[in-house]
Amino acid sequence: MLPDGKVEVMGQGTGKFMGADAFIMSTDTGTMANVVFVGEVNVLITTKEGESVMIEGQRCGLPIS
């Protein structure tokens, strides 16, 4: 929980991006209302070859149980 009442969720892992092995790191910042998360997401994807892409967007989702 951030001082302004927003929630910050961070995650990282490995996977595939357009067929290439990649490291993926994301940060979501937003609010929870009626069990729905609404906010912004920033994702950094870096391939083993050193190429990277930054994705920014909006996110709305429900918790996974």
Residue-level pLDDT at 59:
86
Residue 27 lies in a domain: yes
Residue 17 lies in a domain: yes
Count of domains in the chain?
A: 1
The radius of gyration computed from the CA coordinates of the chain, to the nearest angstrom, equals 14
Burial grade of 54 (CB within 10 A; 0-12, 13-18, 19 or more): exposed
As a whole-number percent, the residues of the chain with pLDDT over 70 amount to: 98
DSSP string covering 8-54: EEEEEEEEEETTEEEEEEEEEEEEEETTEEEEEEEEEEEETTS-EEE
Residue 42 lies in a domain: yes
Residue-level pLDDT at 11:
95
Residue 15 lies in a domain: yes
Residue 1 lies in a domain: no
Residue 16 lies in a domain: yes
pLDDT, tens only, 18-49: 999 999 999 999 998 888 889 999 999 999 99
Residue 22 lies in a domain: yes
Tell me the residue range of the domain where 33 lies.
Answer: 7-57
What are the structure tokens assigned to 17, written together? 């991006």
Residue-level pLDDT at 12:
97
